[in-house]
Structure 1
């Protein structure tokens, strides 16, 4: 029986490329789960709230619960919307330690510390944080903080108002206090 001879010659360049690819795959495999954990926890928390409230005859869907927690307007009974807010606050108070690891990224923490006891417009916040790209600021700083309930709009009825300001919620104040200790 003869030894198989592949139709190509392995070079050191090929071996180096294979090693680099293997290393990158290993990094993705090891680090991929930790980046998704906060989103998974938040998603599970939202589904838990919706399911618990559904048992109590609350008719809001998971999408509507998500929208309520993001501060968006939702078509539903005011009582049911308030139940969602109350349930989320109860869970947030119960697991304040989890919220630090779940939803306070370094970027959100920087936003909370910059905001402090004041109410500021987006442009003022961005200037104080030395940021210039509004879309990135909204997606990486503002939306996560709003979704986590750490900041709120001073005029929630008109979210697109150019003079809209943002301030810390009780939860946000608690997180700032905790980070300064």
Structure 2
């Protein structure tokens, strides 16, 4: 039987975690001082698209930021219907983001209903059967039996409501415990990440727009490893460390972009403006820039932009692919809007 008064998730606060909490708190203050309201509002759309792409890509969705932008704008996109539905659901969920309270269980069920609408049966309801987390053909985690899920989630929400820990810690602990319980038949990963963002956004609005999902996507092997290690140790400290390190990297990048924006060359700035919110190939970029000499384009525009992480390849594992295209990184988007 559930005992809300004594429930305490197992986690250890080590020196690494405490240092990360201090570092993130300092960075949040610096970022807030650097960012004006108009720029923040402009950036919200860009980061929301990156967040949706990152969260869904972790689950296997192949749609690009350009395609997600088109769906957001109501344009027709040629792609698998399920993937389009996932994007539409995520857009609808983030439209409701500001209306949900993280400690309200009914809000989480409503969010799942929106996020998984037309994708699974019983969206918005806890699972009725057993589930396991797979890594290839291997079961790496068997979730608790379905009949225990309501009580376990009730305990977790009660702990969240009364916890005196810093929101950076409570959000990470909640995220790990949520994934351990695996309360839904599907959509647990994207819901856990969404709810951690919601908890953090109630602490500081910055986290409503910070594309942490993109960084998790870029480091998803470490994400799953941290989950597994926390389960093995019966202590969520490894997962807390991973999530706080990811958050710290995201904010540090945002702060650095504001501070070094004036160091970008005129050529690279022109390239960034030419790309905008699109994904363009070399020929398209050269045409947009009015260039005909490829070595000049690569030396003065493309290579410096790649080196300083203003842009990224859409096919990083095949840099010489004939279908290679380029898009702005989060750092590049911030500079474009500054």
TM-score, length of structure 1 as denominator length: 0.47
TM-score normalized by the length of structure 2: 0.26
Q: Relative contact order (C-alpha < 8 Å, sep 6+): which is higher?
A: 2
